[in-house]
Amino acid sequence: MKEGKIMALTTPITPTLPEQEIRALEDQITELAAHIHAANYRLLTLIRQFDESAGWAEPGLRSCAHWLNWKCGIGLNAAREKVRVAHALGDLPKTSASFSKGEISYSKVRAMTRVATAENEEFLLTIALHGTAAHVERAVRQFTRAKRNEALDAENERHERRRVVWRVDEDGCWSLHARFTPEQGERVMKAIDAAVDEIEAEQEDVSAETSAEPDRTKPMPCPMAQKRADALERLADAFLSGGGGAVHGGDRCTVHVHTDLDTLRADGEGAESSLEDGANVSAETSRRLACDCGVVPWRESLDGETLDVGRKTRSIPPSIRRALQRRDGGCRFPGCTAHKYVDAHHIRHWADGGETKLDNLVTLCRHHHRAVHEGGFDVQMGTDGVPKFFDRRGRLIPEAPAPRFRGNVFALMTANRRSGADVSAETCVPCWHGERMDDDLVVDTLFQLGR
């Protein structure tokens, strides 16, 4: 062996079973894979129906993805992707038919649904049936890249039209309208999406509230627009509090709420409190904000003249907050794992005579703090020192879902056959013979189909 060179010695790997047994194993694997593909289609169909009927919202969950995470043990990101694909399949009948027969895999379908339309569905399905999952991923990736590059020609014109404007409506709500260049928009939206992801990642096992209900009878899912509003508020909090790091309760940037004890009491007659800019918030929102805040006593005469302004104090003293944070470690709502952006909640509000001590306090994230105050949920401290949470109907929310029967492969195959899926060892094997895919032809065809 010459100095400076390394000889790589490779030992050929040979099968340890006879060829006939190897072929039999191959057939079993591909046949079972096809059954799994068909079952995945049925699963996604059920997920779509479940999401459309808001079946996940009844126990106070935040979204269908959170229900899948909690009940089915599916990671939150993967669960969100399943919900997305499930809804996309509703508009792709040819893809759905092939998927239901076990001919194509979930990996292929997931990639196809990123760009599939009624016009290009059949062409993408041809690639999926005659190529591997890598071929489909590459076709989708290159088509997406080509469309992104096409948009660059208009960038200079868009740059001159960027702007942000806002106004305050009559009810005190703020309306913002913005126009960004693609680069600016991507940065802003990435920041908002990252904040949305952070909020949801903190609650991977969350059992969260539904959005507000106009008739208080049927829970409705929280729209993405509302999630982004919460995310934008979080970005503002992070900037105003000095950049990174978690901020808690009264440590957040100051929002001045002018209220009185009659409004803060549970049986008080006051309906609203006022903000510094003149807008109003409800009495229950005032109670939530006052749970964990800085308090400045302010005495006025009957004609509104200031008589005395006291010293600012904390509704939760620092020593008790440290002990509470050490005890709870984050939001205590069943299944919630949030540990940043949390508030201390008075189980019996201090305005109603509740004491500021550990057995009357519990840590909640913003979603669940709002759920307890404005969302109709309730929390009580158990005799064992563990907080108990109740939904809108007064039912105890369990700490974890009850175990369910998981099924088996024979039940899976039987169900597929009953649904009409004629699965064999060749069902999901693509009709690919090793030829190279013409990337330019694929992208050009997808562009033509989209015009």
381 DSSP β-pair partners = 387
Mean pLDDT of 266-287: 73
- Which one has a higher pLDDT value, 338 or 247? 338
Asked if residues 156 and 192 have their Cβ atoms less than 8 Å apart, the reply is no
Mean pLDDT of 80-105: 94
Mean pLDDT of 279-302: 74
Confidence of residue 213 (pLDDT cuts 50, 70, 90): very low
Cα distances from 103 to residues 17, 158, 318, 366, 434, in angstroms, run: 29, 44, 61, 45, 19
Please say if the pLDDT value at position 3 is more than 80. no
* The pLDDT of residue 43: 92
Kindly state the tokens that stand for 39.
């079952």
How much of the chain exceeds pLDDT 70, in percent? 75
d(CA 351, CA 269): 13
- Which one has a higher pLDDT value, 214 or 53? 53
Over residues 16-67, the pLDDT tens digits come to 888 888 888 888 888 888 888 988 999 999 999 999 999 888 666 778 888 8
Q: Name the residue with tokens 């109907």.
A: 393
Mean pLDDT of 324-352: 84
Would you give the distance in Å from CA 198 to the centre of its chain?
9
154-158 CB contacts, 8 Å cutoff, 24+ apart:
155/181, 155/182, 155/183, 158/182
Over residues 412-447, the pLDDT tens digits come to 777 777 777 777 767 766 767 667 778 888 888 888
d(CA 444, CA 429): 27
- Which one has a higher pLDDT value, 231 or 286? 231
Confidence of residue 120 (pLDDT cuts 50, 70, 90): very high
Q: pTM score, two decimals?
A: 0.56
How many CB atoms within 10 Å of residue 115? 17
Mean pLDDT of 390-407: 73
